[in-house]
Amino acid sequence: MSAGSRAPVPGSGEWGVGPLDHIGIAVRSLAEALPFWTQVLGLPAEPPEDLPHMGLRVVKIRVGEARIELLETTRPGTPIAKFVEARGPGLHHVCFRVTDVAWAGRYLASLGHKPLTDEPQVGAGGALVLFLHPRAGHGVLVELSQPAAGRAS
C-alpha cells in the first residue's frame, strides 16, 4: 500500500499499528540501573546488545507482552548521550509495532508528522525503526518498529 492510496481507518490497525512494543529508558550506566529491574522487581533481562552504528548498548527486560529497554550510550554525541546530559536518565521514548515501518513513515509524513530520518534504521534485534519528533506525540518521542523478518518481538 502506498502513502497515496486510500487512507486507513484510524484506530482500526488497518495500516499496521500493533501493540506497545517497548518503553525506552535512557540510563547513565546499565551496571547501575539493571539491578533495580532484575533484582528488586524480579523481571527477566536479556543479555546486552551492542548497536555500534547508534552508539548504544541495550538491555531488554520482558514485562508481559512488551519490554522495557534500558539504553546506555557508548560514545559522546549520540542522541541518548545528549538526552542524559540535558535531562538526566529517564523515559526516552515509547515504541509501537507496525507491519510496514516504511509505509507508516510515509503515511504519517503525509499527515504532517515527518519521521526524524528519511529511511528506517536497523535497531535492536534487527528491527527496522523510525522515530517521530516529540511534538507529534505531544512531548513524547514515538518510535515505530517493524520486527525483523521471521522474528517475534
Q: What proportions of the chain, in percent to the nearest 5, are helix, strand and coil? A: 25, 35, 45
Task: Report pLDDT for 3.
Answer: 47
Task: Report pLDDT for 153.
Answer: 47
**127-136 residue pLDDT tens:** 999 999 898 8
Would you give the distance in Å from CA 117 to the centre of its chain? 14
**9-54 residue pLDDT tens:** 445 555 667 789 999 999 999 999 999 999 999 999 999 999 999 9
Report the DSSP beta bridge partners of residue 51.
Answer: 56
**62-82 residue pLDDT tens:** 999 899 999 999 999 999 999
Write down all domains in the chain, each with its CATH number in brackets. Answer: 20-146 (3.10.180.10)
Q: What is the mean pLDDT of residues 84-93?
A: 95
Task: Report pLDDT for 87.
Answer: 94
Task: Report pLDDT for 16.
Answer: 64
Tell me phi and psi for residue 17, to 5 degrees. -70, 125
Helix, coil or strand: residue 133: coil
Kindly state the cell numbers that stand for 87.
535531562
Tell me phi and psi for residue 91, to 5 degrees. -60, 125
Give dist(CA 121, CA 141) in Å, integer: 16
10 vs 7, 14, 108, 126, CA distance in Å? 9, 8, 12, 28
Place of cell 500493533: 18
Least confident of 10-19, 55-64, 78-87, 101-110: 10-19
Helix, coil or strand: residue 16: coil
Task: Report pLDDT for 99.
Answer: 87
Burial of 75 (0-12, 13-18, 19+ CB in 10 A): exposed
Helix, coil or strand: residue 126: helix
Task: Report pLDDT for 13.
Answer: 54
Helix, coil or strand: residue 74: coil
